[in-house]
Chain A
Amino acid sequence: MTARTLYDKIWDDHVVHQADDGTCLLYIDRHLVHEVTSPQAFEGLRMTGRKVRAPEKTIAVPDHNVPTTAGRDTHIDNEESRIQVEALDKNARDFGINYYPVSDIRQGIVHIVGPEQGWTLPGMTVVCGDSHTATHGAFGALAHGIGTSEVEHVLATQTLIQKKSKNMKVEITGSLRPGVTAKDITLSVIGATGTAGGTGYVIEYCGQAIRELSMEGRMTVCNMAIEGGARAGLIAPDEKTFAYVMGRPHAPKGAKWEAALAYWKTLFTDDGAHFDKVVTIRGEDIAPVVTWGTSPEDVLPITGTVPSASDFTGGKVEAAQRSLDYMGLTPGMKLTDIKIDTVFIGSCTNGRIEDLRAAAAILKGKKIKDGMRAMVVPGSGLVRAQAEEEGLAQIFIDAGFEWRLAGCSMCLAMNPDQLSPGERCAATSNRNFEGRQGRGGRTHLLSPAMAAAAAITGHLTDVREMMGETV
């Protein structure tokens, strides 16, 4: 038999129909739904008299719009947000799909809730009307974002019309150095390949440094595959994956678990399988990184300096100048001299328990800089509860952070958590686009530990120096 990649294997197992031109109908195992990209899809079903084909495989949770402050389960001030959340309540009820309302402790960011509840399993196809669906690839699931028309298509048919992508391998060899995290891996890869480097591909991340990551770290890596342009990111499941999945509410039990495990153990890339593109990065070469510009590819080690537009070529010259102007930065200045007034720890990229532990380890016994606005938004109600139990919440509160309820929050600023024009934020989220966190707001992407370090000093900071003090 021809050697196949992990992507090839999952793809092959889900093809319902293949047309002569290669267009396939792909079966979808899990459909995750949130309030912003689904109302028009449910409305489409109503208008055509169609049903949700597999409500038991469809899971909805409000996350993008929800406030992260107390009282939100009884009232949302913003009328449009309230209407969207109420529409999801109604759609979930009317169509009989699995639902975690705002009042449920299991509510949170859809990409954190899916794995947490055991909906996401190795070898599955997972889609959601959200580009960061790539997160679920950490389990060896083929997971990607879709538009609202495709949401309606999956609701009605439990399939998606797809053409197969090409295979790309991103190998991170060796081990990471202290102070370097999954976030630094994923940003460094995008820095190396560009935001269109993965366009047309599904990426499989592999290598020792990837194997050494926890499941939380692997989710962080896969989460930002989309920022590299890839349709999806994948990591082959292993014992860490199985241990994470076992016992979760919707994970298989008993004989089904054994059958699933036997199948999951076949989910790896065969020796000699073909990759159309290969990128290799030495784990030891990765430093803690930050973004300086308004594209996730604008990545530099924290020890670097702000570039000038003339460092670039082609269309990137104009884009870099525009970024520098927008970000209010002068070429040649040290990244560690960039002053920060807001710190945001959270999002589907870095809102899991391990992320909160990493930030709390830096913050323990310290205070944030005077005048700093800092918030932690746990990725789910359960992450929040666990952080409280572990004493992390108290560390954040004692340091001067706001301790919020779960949601997407300031990652995309659809709720009241926003930057004002000119405000500069160290953010553990995934996008530094113009206006992403609020019109005129300036975003520097980094890891949770680096965000915590910046909160203390008031400027972008090499967390390794701080670890030297505390270790």
Chain B
Amino acid sequence: MDKFTTLTGIAAPMPLVNIDTDMIIPKQFLKTIQRSGLGKNLFDEMRYTQDGAEIPDFVLNQPAYRDAQIIVAGDNFGCGSSREHAPWALLDFGIRCVISTSFADIFFNNCFKNGILPIVMPQDVVEVLMADARKGANARMTVDLEAQTVTTSDGQSFPFQVDAFRKHCLLNGLDDIGLTLEKASAIDSFEAKYSTQHPWA
């Protein structure tokens, strides 16, 4: 997993609420057995017509946002299916950070496993960031994970909360499985005790 430290980039405004993972990556692209290559189909049905032509109005098709690395989104981003293909598609497109008032639980978890930082901000802050994102390619937002701040193109800075363990993993690009396997003896002893108490399990 790539580290996430600081990011300065273009933020795309997507104010629609309840953007679900079916929108982020429709099911026909879940047939892959790989993680890579999904970026071209990110938001496929919002982004392309049925014959594959770009829909010019869609934000990521607009010249200012084609290289966006941040999305400022409406409430409850990433709801629905658990498909990790959603963060894989975002990452493959180049998105490393999503900011919203709320995220669906599984999507939120999946982001951290892939070096994407999801940031929860209050409604009034999301409105300021959304306005900043609407300024286009010349307005670059900065996300500093170490300092836990988001700074707009005109220098307004807003703090955010992040779980300490997840922050540590993102800053260092750590693999969860490797960390857990360091606790293998704790798992062994739990399993021994548990199987005595719950022999049916």
Contact = CB atoms under 8 A, between A and B. Distances in A.
A binds B: yes
Contact of B16 (A17, A25, A319): A319
Interface stretch (B5-13, B61-69, B98-106): B98-106
Contacts of B96: none
A131 interface: yes
B45 to A, nearest CB: 5
A25 B186 contact: yes
Interface residues of A, number: 80
Given A153-B176, A231-B105, A37 B82 contact: yes
B181 A40 contact: no
A204 interface: no
A163 B163 contact: yes
Contacts of B128: none
A200 B102 CA distance: 10
Contact of A84 (B33, B186, B191): B33
A81 B45 contact: no
By secondary structure, the B interface counts as loop
Given A131-B106, A161-B176, A195-B76, A315 B50 contact: no
By secondary structure, the A interface counts as loop
B45 A196 contact: no
Given A50-B177, A319-B17, A17 B33 contact: no
Nearest to B190: A16
B18 A21 contact: no
Interface stretch (A97-105, A106-114, A257-265, A328-336): A257-265
A123 B200 CA distance: 11
Contact of B22 (A19, A318, A435): A435
B22 A17 contact: no
B177 A157 contact: yes
A158 B114 contact: no
A414 interface: yes
A133 B164 CA distance: 28
Interface string A38-73: 011001100010100100000000001100000000
A156 interface: yes
B33 A25 contact: no
B194 interface: yes
A29 B194 CA distance: 10
B163 A157 contact: no
A37 B84 contact: yes
A316 B199 contact: no
A413 interface: yes
A72 B2 CA distance: 41
B119 to A, nearest CB: 15
Interface string A189-205: 00000011001100000
Contact of A200 (B23, B82, B105, B201): B105
Contact of A147 (B76, B102, B110): B110
A23 interface: yes
A124 B200 CA distance: 10
B187 interface: yes
B33 A43 contact: yes
Given A27-B190, A196-B79, A17 B165 contact: no
Contacts of A196: 18, 75-76, 79, 102, 104
Interface in A209-239: 226, 229-231
A146 interface: yes
B34 interface: yes
Contacts of A121: 200-201
Contact of A229 (B31, B74, B84, B105): B105
Interface string B80-114: 11111001000000000000001111100110011
A152 B199 contact: no
A140 interface: no
Nearest to A80: B31
A439 B18 contact: no
Interface string B174-200: 001100110110110011001000111
Contact of A131 (B15, B81, B87): B81
A367 interface: no
A439 B199 contact: no
Contacts of A39: 33
Interface centre among B15, B82, B110, B183 (most CB of A within 10 A): B82
Nearest to A408: B27
Contacts of A279: none
A129 interface: yes
A37 B105 CA distance: 17
A395 B73 CA distance: 48
Contact of B82 (A123, A145, A263, A319): A145
9 contacts: A25-B186, A27-B194, A40-B35, A147-B110, A149-B114, A157-B180, A199-B105, A226-B106, A260-B198
Interface of B: 15-18, 20, 22-23, 26-28, 30-35, 45, 50, 74-76, 79-84, 87, 102-106, 109-110, 113-114, 163-165, 176-177, 180-181, 183-184, 186-187, 190-191, 194, 198-201
Given A36-B31, A153-B177, 17 more contacts: A36-B83, A37-B83, A39-B33, A43-B33, A50-B177, A147-B109, A157-B187, A199-B105, A256-B200, A257-B200, A259-B199, A295-B20, A315-B15, A315-B17, A319-B18, A322-B16, A439-B50
